[in-house]
Structure 1
Amino acid sequence: MHDPNRRGLLIILSSPSGAGKSTLARRLMVWDETLRFSVSATTRAPRTGEVDGQDYHFLDEARFKAMVRDGEMLEHAHVFGNFYGSPMGPVSEAIEAGRDVLFDIDWQGAQQIQKSALAPHVLSIFILPPSIAELRRRLESRGQDDVETIAKRMQKSWDEISHWDGYDYVLINDDLDGTEVKLKAILTAERMKASQQPGLMDHVRRLQSEFEDTP
């Protein structure tokens, strides 16, 4: 929740497809309406109905590469002939204003962000499925993908799961409601870290001054 007396968090959520990450992210945004997903930048052309700055920041390739070169991208990747990335500026501004920003990215993007200038404010969470059989069942029950696509997602899932130990927290999503409670508890605690409260030093100095003035 927005608090001008604290710094915001850069919240990374990662998981293999079907582990429940997107559902949990939506629940977090209902719980705290100030939470927002980071708006990515891309070099691909806008699709019908997409709004610049809302759906994506649409950039030409020269501008995108210049931002990468100048350290203005938190993470970036080349996918199917186009570049995608996360501009640092808007995220940095949100953090200084005490607003948390969500990132739904894979382990490679997470590693890049964890090495960026905003690393002190990163909260990274990996969501594991209770079993591989359950992961497959969830993918099949969504009814969004054909058999071939599900097979590809399953093949990719182990590569993603194998990087679980690069995250601050790891949750096994065997019960969606229970995992949601744990996720909220993590965010609540992380928001109260001393490093996230820029006004603490001034408050302690005031207490010290009051203590010294007390007869």
Structure 2
Amino acid sequence: MQAIKRFARFHLQENYPLYVFISVLMFVGVIFGAVIVNSLTLSQKQDLFTYLLRFFSEVKGGNFANAADMFSQSFSHNIKYIFLLWILGLTVVGLPIVLIMIFIKGAVIGFTVGFLVSQMGWHGFFLAFVSVLPQNILVVPLILCAGGASVLFSVNMIKQQFLKKKSEPFFPSFFRYSSIIVGIGLLMSVASGFEAYVSPYLMKGIMSLIGK
């Protein structure tokens, strides 16, 4: 465990500028997603809000999906996302796509929170706080780490293939990169577990308090 902590600390310190960049990129995506809410037409907002009210009504009545099914769906989604980042990191052309995926992830979060707040005010803020924030406290850093590792591996591939710069041999670098992705995938199970087993009850409690 101590060796993992030392490696993580050294990795972050060595690549600090990259992680700052992709963190800012995701933050810009969050702002972009929130701004998009204002570009929706009134009918689009009404349709989305009607769907949300129906969903909230089901959650308040305890009619949400089976927790095991929710965990399976959430974990499957997160693993596919991380796996795609891993695959893209193995290619040269995948570098810009990784950055776009990080931006889009931020935009989705920003849109979700922005829409809830725009339609429900403080009630929407509290709903977003219990339904979006908890699992994303872990999911967002994990995606940033996976994205950063993917970018670093892709950049090393570019250096080796096109710039002919000597760097670490391929297989040790590939093994370390893949190990980071596997570790991130395992940690994603914690976020998925929280989303499946805890978030629905937090949402139900908040909706009971605000009367939705």
Tell me the TM-score normalised to structure 2 length.
0.31
Name whichever structure is richer in helix by fraction. 2
Larger fraction in strand = 1
